[in-house]
Structure 1
Amino acid sequence: MKVHTVYLAGTVLALPAACALAQSVDVVEVVGRRSAGAYHASEADGAKTDLPLRELPQAVRVMSRQSLDDLGATRVDDALDYVGGVSRQNNFGGMWDNIAIRGLAGDSNTGMALLQNGFAGNRGYHGPRDTANIERIEFLKGPAAALYGASEPGGTLNIVTKRPLWRSAQALEAYAGSDGFYRTTLDATGPLADAVAYRLNAAVEKRGSMRDFVTTRRTLLAPALTWRVAPGSTVDYRGEWQRHRGLLDRGVAAIGGRLDALPRSRFLGEPADGDLEVSNTTHQLTVQHVLREQGGERWALRAGLAWKEGSILGYATEAAATLRPDGRTLWRQRRYRDYDARDVVLQAELAGQVRWGGVGHDVLMGVETYRFRNDQLMMRVLPSAAAPYAIDVLAPSYRPREQLPQVLPATDTRERQRNSALYLQDALRLGESWRVLAGVRLDRYQQSLHNRRTGVTTQQDPHATSPRLGVSYLATPHWTLFANAGRSFRPNSGTDVTGAALAPEHGRAREAGVKWEGADGRAGATLALFDIDKRDVVTGDPANPGYSIVAGAVRSRGLDADFTGQLDRHWRANASLSYIDAEVVRDNVLAVGSRLVNVPRINGSVLVMYEGAAAGRPFGLGGGVTYSARRPGDSRTQAQIAAGTPVFELPAYTQARLTAWWRVTPLVRVSLDIDNLFDRTCYTSSYQSTWVAPGARRTAVLGLQARF
């Protein structure tokens, strides 16, 4: 679909000044896609404190529901380019979400650290997350281990799902767009009785693509209930069932370091493998009870239970690491995966707001335990000179199912993780101008990995202490200076070639910055400098391909900035900017000084929306632009340096988008979203030079939203 238009843009530095004239706009909570609402948030559930974000000594970016709607985001990764310090990572061929925050990514085999309503949301397997039941996404930058345990020192995400409302409302939405995109969603809420309210979100989606043969299908069902048992006592339930199906798509291959040698539509797997299916089910139950609320003092108990299952099932053909010497023949391996994981978490917290010794305290004391089980069965066939299982990348010929090679047993393991933790946090209000946030978490961790093929079981029992300390100075009613420091850890799965368990990764992060918030609280900005170190990083074993060793240390330094809010009663904007210098500082395999994969030194974004009325009907028009600089496309090894192998990098890219809507009647509106407006070729992430993910071409989506 050809569309000729212009996009709206701005600069991060100009926006806070413009907001000095910002006017208040009322926000009404609605179901379905919003027309007018807030970009800027004053608090974040994931911080687990009553301190407003302006006073919190930590950089936090909240992607509001309004932002998601203005971006036309149907998946979480549709919004990632609009947050400072975030860069895309290998997403397992489109089968899950994966990012790095401030240059540091999570486990390359399971994806990024992620929370859902304060519970661990990414142990195991989860397909790309649908936004139909998401109220907002909280990017908690810096180490979160003092509250949540195992995590990355660069930060984590807390996804907050939609809660039931105490008034009846329903929304039905339908979308159709380029490349065979079809989507329908339902959002219904209201009271079931005087003390019980419900919410139900559902989505069904079929998505084609510019990629040959690649089509994905998704189904989401997310019920929620709130029960007011008694004054001060509430029971909340959040459920989610999602199934995501499609070909595993590892992307295109670079030939001689060039990505333009192949069309971005070229598929290098085998269509006859059929769909890989990622399924997951989540149940979360929380009980809250106010123990005491009198004279400015408040104590409350919270208990939570979360149960999550996830699985991956199906065949996939995946490229080898390099092309053959002729520059066009690519050997591949075929894999069958039957992965299944279950995670059960129990939390109990006591929270209080009190004054002791003339100082205000926001106290949190909590305990947590979880039991995680991960079964992995993989069968595969590897290429060899006798049976190369190759494809000509310049003139591919695909095989019928009966000619695909038979897979043989390769991996059959059961991993068990057990953890018990105690955590404490205190936010102190020292007069009018100073805030201190101190916390610590003690984790007792147990891990076992049983190899069912060999009968060997490996175990480790690491303990971790994760402290953090932060200070804020409220210099004026609008400006805050802050600094914090903390430690983190993350257990590593798997073993080395001898069968020994891999030691956990440990991180240390420091951060300092400034925050600004407008007089009406409708706009705000944060600028932060950071310095992060991580050691015991797992890398591939050069002497034993297919195995890993604990060999590395990395460092990330830089700055990131975010702006969110209303410019006046018609205009609102999001903006971000980051500079990240992330590199290897010690390793037995990777080259010291080499930059980390998929992490650009500079990226930025702007999203601007205007809303008004014409002929008595409200309308909205806006657009966004994102920029990502050049970045490494694979890990640079010492052997490559010695051999003089050229550096493989992904090129820089800039993309623009346009969004528009018009309210046809008070309850019906139409929308148009156009991504990659100028149809620029880009490559969003890479794992190696034969697994490079191309960005989508220009796409247009027409939507119809009805409330009733």
Structure 2
Amino acid sequence: MQVKRSFLALSILAITFPNVYAASESNTVLPSIQAQAEKNDQDQKNYAAKTASVVKTGAPLFETAQSISVVTQQQIEEKQMQSVTDALQGVAGVNSAPYGRRGWDDFIIRGQISSAQTYIDGLRTQTSTSVLRSEDIAGVQSVEVVKGPTSVGYGLALPGGLVNLTTKRPEDKTFVNSSLTYGSYALREAVIDANYAPNEDSNKGAVRLVAKASYQNDPTDYVYFKNQYVATSYNFDLGDKDELSVIASYQHRNYIRNQGIPSNYQGYSRKIFIGEPDRGYDVDVYRFGSNYTHYFNNNWKFNQNFAATRNTSWSNSVFSASGAKFPTITRQINYQDKQDSNFALDQNLQANFNLGAVNYDVMLGVDMMRERSDYYQRVDTINSLNANKLVYGVTSIKTGTPSWNLTYNQYTGLYLKNNFKFNDNWLLNLSARHDWTQVEVYNFVKNNTIKNSDNAFTGSASLMYEVNDHFAPYTTYSTSFMPVTDTGAQGELLKPEKGKQIEAGVKLQGFDGRLQGYMAYYDLVRKNVTETSTTGTYSIQTGEQTTKGFEAELSASVTPQLNISTAYSYIPTARITDSITQSDIGKRINHVPKNAASLSTQYYFDSEKMGWNIGAGVRYQGNASAQRSTYYVYIPSYTLFDVNAGYEAKHWGANLSVKNLFDKDYIQGTTPNAQLINFGNPRTFMFNLKFKY
């Protein structure tokens, strides 16, 4: 019955297809691709983004009844962001790196951990939550954050939200940009970004190369991060009705994690490393993607987005054992060998129809993904570390029981989006989706296979009213669905996670579109919450979590010389409302502060942005806590200040930035099991010299 109801809902929404098609004129011609490309390129160069590729329909953010933040390329450059984690700091509703500097892109959106919710060019990078990735920001054009359930547009998704990274693609001008960076803790970085456009003022036939090599130590002894990244992309010249862009990239990472230190750290240096200096991580990521669009003469267009990703990760890192305390720290070796292959495809038909008083946008699409994950893990107990007399080396090993699973995760989703604009003021969105999923896990150790097939209907509905060109209040309701690939204590596959959200807000716009922002209130519920058990060998579903809060965000080029961005988050309710552990009910969700705020500015002394420029920023994080079982850590509030100064010439530029100007001593977060404390970065300097031709 559920499947029938789902198809009935899709059919009802689809009834409008023949009517609007008949109303369209067969001789309607879309604007040329070149004009569209120039428009998109220009929007990418704005300080405050007017659109976001994650919307899919191409609708302006001002007319999108959902909270979406975009960190543009100009913001990334002005603030000298070194990672996706940096870019997410200061975004309303996002807590970035709650587990510290562990080498992965960790983030919480609207009180819900969303680290596995990373997309590249609109396609999911991986579904498993173990051994996550850290994308290189050198190849990123913008960082888009969607808050709330996203299943209608993106299928399998947790309800907190997602982060979509748009990659740098060929542009319509030939240029060669390069930079050298040196900073605290032996930071050394070299980047080159070269674009060749043979057709003047056109990105057809253009090719782009981005490459980066970097190395940096850490405030913690023996911890380091090495990274190499290269990507090349090409835009084919297929005429006025077709667009085709392809990109291939490779990333290699070698690093030792900052694990943190036990909570009874008083009297000990915060620089102490409790692992082994010669045991770290090696990660390789290969990716190929393509984006194709065909424009029909009858007011329709076809979009296809494809990506194939190969991810390998190997580690023999040493970690503290559960309950480790100073001075004698019990330890383990965590052997991990993970080989992932992911294929994702999204294709849709889209059209716009002008029906007099009603403007109608429709999109009908199907997307699918198949992921193969081969994951071996073994935890061995080794000799302890004496913090009073640091002597590294593995002198004894007690071999643990391995786990080795081969997981196949695949889904197919059919979605339909209907957007109506009445009398140029009212905007109604009705969207529906049905997903068919299958999870299959083969256990090499037990020599058995378990399978689970499921399907789900998700939807969203929103209503917006444009008061004028500056204010547009809206309300929306949406649901989410996420199959779980984790297995329980008995080797069984766990239930899918589900979520729902009600949101009401207002979109803001001003200064001829140079100012973009929003304010929103939301009520979000996440069910069948899945977490790793305290032993780390299996997963459990703890129950239900609820978050309610308010967000406000604004980005603006106030004048050609002054840029400002600001954000505020208030989450009074972030609690566990149902749990298998009765004592957890009513407790606050880990690492979620009630208040968070940020403000950053950049001022150019010349209206053409040449010559000197200065900038400053401040970021406040309210107090939070982390607890698991009998472990509890209080995380005090903190305020950080950043400053920068630079000089821009025609063919070169220089910038000096200081982060955590007053050398604030603060706790950034804890490990997921709430046993180890991670301290934030002390004051750091970074000098960047760039060349432009």
TM norm structure 2: 0.89
Q: Which moved more, 1:192-201 or 1:588-597?
A: 192-201
Secondary structure of 2:605 counterpart: strand
| Structure 2 match to 1:121 | 125
The answer as to 2:624 corresponding to 1:625 is no
Q: For residues 223-258 of structure 1, what are the alpha-carbon distances to aligned partners after superposition, in whole Å with 9 as ceiling and x for unaligned?
A: 111112121101111222111111132112211xxx
| Structure 2 match to 1:223 | 232
| Structure 2 match to 1:15 | none
Write the mapping of 1:291-302 to structure 2, written as runs, cut at 5 A. Answer: 291-292=296-297, 298-302=299-303
Q: For residues 337-368 of structure 1, what are the alpha-carbon distances to aligned partners after superposition, in whole Å with 9 as ceiling and x for unaligned?
A: 11111101122210111134742111111111
| Structure 2 match to 1:390 | 384
Write the mapping of 1:27-42 to structure 2, written as runs, cut at 5 A. Answer: 38-42=46-50
| Structure 1 match to 2:497 | 505
Q: Which runs of 5+ in 2 are unaligned?
A: 1-36
| Structure 1 match to 2:9 | none
Q: CA deviation at 1:405?
A: 2.8
Write the mapping of 1:297-308 to structure 2, written as runs, cut at 5 A. Answer: 298-308=299-309
Distance 1:424 1:617, change over 3 A: closer
Distance 1:471 1:432, change over 3 A: same
Write the mapping of 1:83-232 to structure 2, written as runs, cut at 5 A. Answer: 83-89=91-97, 94-106=102-114, 111-123=115-127, 127-191=133-197, 195-232=204-241
Task: Say if 1:319 and 1:690, in contact at 8 Å, map to a contact too.
Answer: no
Write the mapping of 1:287-686 to structure 2, written as runs, cut at 5 A. Answer: 287-292=292-297, 298-323=299-324, 328-356=327-355, 358-382=357-381, 389-393=383-387, 395-400=388-393, 403=395, 405=397, 407-539=399-531, 546-580=537-571, 581-589=573-581, 591-613=584-606, 618-635=611-628, 637=629, 640=630, 647-663=632-648, 665-686=649-670
| Structure 1 match to 2:23 | none
Find the aligned partners of 2:625 and 2:686 in 1 and give their Cα distance.
32
Secondary structure of 1:96 counterpart: coil
Find the aligned partners of 1:557 and 1:353 in 2 and give their Cα distance.
36
- AA aligned opposite 2:62: R
| Structure 2 match to 1:694 | 679
Distance 1:693 1:545, change over 3 A: closer
- AA aligned opposite 1:112: A
Q: CA deviation at 1:113?
A: 0.3
| Structure 2 match to 1:52 | 60
Q: Which moved more, 1:426-435 or 1:581-590?
A: 581-590
Find the aligned partners of 2:673 and 2:623 in 1 and give their Cα distance.
15
Q: For residues 421-455 of structure 1, what are the alpha-carbon distances to aligned partners after superposition, in whole Å with 9 as ceiling and x for unaligned?
A: 10111111111210011211111000011110111
The answer as to 2:288 corresponding to 1:283 is yes
Identity value in percent = 23
Task: Say if 1:460 and 1:501, in contact at 8 Å, map to a contact too.
Answer: yes
Q: Which runs of 5+ in 1 are unaligned?
A: 1-27, 384-388
Secondary structure of 2:644 counterpart: strand
Find the aligned partners of 2:331 and 2:367 in 1 and give their Cα distance.
44
| Structure 2 match to 1:5 | none
Q: For residues 192-249 of structure 1, what are the alpha-carbon distances to aligned partners after superposition, in whole Å with 9 as ceiling and x for unaligned?
A: 5784111111110001121101111000101111112121101111222111111132
Find the aligned partners of 1:480 and 1:245 in 2 and give their Cα distance.
47
Find the aligned partners of 2:378 and 2:550 in 1 and give their Cα distance.
44
Q: For residues 626-649 of structure 1, what are the alpha-carbon distances to aligned partners after superposition, in whole Å with 9 as ceiling and x for unaligned?
A: 1111111233x4xx4xxxx7x421
Find the aligned partners of 2:100 and 2:678 in 1 and give their Cα distance.
10
Q: For residues 372-403 of structure 1, what are the alpha-carbon distances to aligned partners after superposition, in whole Å with 9 as ceiling and x for unaligned?
A: 010011122136xxxxx22234x2523335x3
Find the aligned partners of 2:418 and 2:237 in 1 and give their Cα distance.
29
Task: Say if 2:599 and 2:619, in contact at 8 Å, map to a contact too.
Answer: yes
Find the aligned partners of 1:343 and 1:284 in 2 and give their Cα distance.
12
| Structure 1 match to 2:263 | 254
Find the aligned partners of 1:450 and 1:284 in 2 and give their Cα distance.
29
| Structure 1 match to 2:4 | none
Task: Say if 2:72 and 2:142, in contact at 8 Å, map to a contact too.
Answer: yes
Distance 1:519 1:206, change over 3 A: closer
Task: Say if 1:88 and 1:598, in contact at 8 Å, map to a contact too.
Answer: no
| Structure 1 match to 2:83 | 75
- AA aligned opposite 1:338: D
- AA aligned opposite 2:237: R
Task: Say if 1:449 and 1:494, in contact at 8 Å, map to a contact too.
Answer: no
Q: CA deviation at 1:37?
A: 5.5
| Structure 2 match to 1:238 | 247
Find the aligned partners of 1:235 and 1:263 in 2 and give their Cα distance.
55
Find the aligned partners of 1:219 and 1:464 in 2 and give their Cα distance.
40
Distance 1:375 1:235, change over 3 A: same
Question: Per chain length, whose mean CA-contact separation is higher, i.e. which structure has more relative contact order (CA < 8 Å, sep 6+)?
Answer: 1
Distance 1:476 1:93, change over 3 A: closer
Distance 1:43 1:456, change over 3 A: same
- AA aligned opposite 1:361: Y
Find the aligned partners of 1:567 and 1:361 in 2 and give their Cα distance.
34
TM norm structure 1: 0.87
| Structure 2 match to 1:266 | 272
Distance 1:313 1:53, change over 3 A: same
Task: Say if 2:334 and 2:377, in contact at 8 Å, map to a contact too.
Answer: yes
Secondary structure of 1:284 counterpart: strand
Task: Say if 1:127 and 1:244, in contact at 8 Å, map to a contact too.
Answer: no
Find the aligned partners of 2:563 and 2:397 in 1 and give their Cα distance.
55
Number of paired residues? 647
Task: Say if 1:270 and 1:398, in contact at 8 Å, map to a contact too.
Answer: no
- AA aligned opposite 2:247: R
Q: For residues 261-294 of structure 1, what are the alpha-carbon distances to aligned partners after superposition, in whole Å with 9 as ceiling and x for unaligned?
A: 4332111111132x3112211111122110126x
Q: CA RMSD in A?
A: 2.5
